[in-house]
Amino acid sequence: MEQFTGGTSIRHPLAYARLKGGAFTRGGSFDTSYVQTDTALEVLVKAYYVNITLFGLDAVLNRGPEAVMSTVETKMVNAAGRMAELLGTDLFLDGQGTDSSAIQLDGLEAAIDDGVAFPSYGGITRADIATGANVGINSFVRTMTGPLALSDFQSAYGATWFGSEHVDLIVVTQAIWDIFWNKLQPQQRFLEAEKDIVQAGFQAIRYNGASLTVDQYAPAGKAWFLNTKYLQFWITTLQKYQFGFTGWKEAQFNDDVSGQYLFAGNLLNVAPRLMAVIKSITS
């Protein structure tokens, strides 16, 4: 998790072109023309809240040894879970006004694209710096028109493998996990037991050095191929918006109180070309 101190947006430098260079002979000339090599990805700061309202009279009815439960404690636990659901869901959406509002997270759907569905990302028009799959800030995208084959997974994985960089996490729904599992030969079914992702409460299949796991918030029909080294989840340094609480505020015309659980930040994918998505998986 990254932190930012202020401003309306989050920026990260992006190198997208190579400098002039090559072999030369004695007395040969250098190409000294200027090359624009760098720009910056930029996403706006997005803010989320979860509201908690308590009836004032409940403080009288639910107290002392007769209290059934701590109302405040259970509401706060609920608020934390609701915030996780909101962010976990929007993480996979676009935040561009297509599948989710422009005030929501700039999610993986907008970042991991080949320029067809989302021609721009992070303030950069994809075609301005490159065209085609896996160049510039374009990702590898495959849309299924028939049953999924293991070769489709291999194509997506291979397309995102550059030097020592490769996908380390593949996220799917339970339905796609089941499809993938059933396509493996029995001797190929190796469950992980040592990786951190397992210790955090997930089960994962090991595939080409990547962990294939289920996320309940992942959208149906898609498999996300992620290089987590280049996914940045930013959060403000202002404590109140670091999943902080505003405190209780009384209503104007009664004794009820409310408070909000807050977050401010965004997701930034700084290397979309190292990632992929397979869409429309049904069988």
Q: How do residues 134-147 score in pLDDT, each as one tens digit?
A: 889 999 999 999 99
With 90 as the cut, is the pLDDT of residue 66 above it? no
Longest dimension (CA), the chain: 94
**Other CB atoms within 10 Å distance of the CB of residue 239:** 9
Domains of the chain plus CATH, in order, are 2-14+41-279 (3.90.1690)
Please tell me the least confidently modeled range out of 124-133, 164-173, 258-267: 124-133
Helical (H) or strand (E) element with 206: strand 204-207
Overall average pLDDT of the 91-116 stretch: 97
What are the tens digits of pLDDT across the range 44-60?
Answer: 999 999 999 988 777 65
Mean per-residue pLDDT for 218-224? 97
Average pLDDT over residues 198-222: 84
Q: Is this prediction's pTM over 0.95? A: no
**CA atoms 9, 12, 13, 17: torsion sign:** negative
Unique residue bearing structure tokens 């009820």: 256
Q: Please report which confidence band the pLDDT of residue 227 belongs to, taking 50, 70 and 90 as the band edges.
A: very high
Q: Are the C-beta atoms of 228 and 283 separated by less than 8 Å?
A: no
pLDDT tens-digit series, residues 155-177? 999 999 999 999 999 999 999 99
| Pick from 145, 209, 204, 197: nearest CA to 180 | 204
So what's the pLDDT on residue 59? Answer: 66
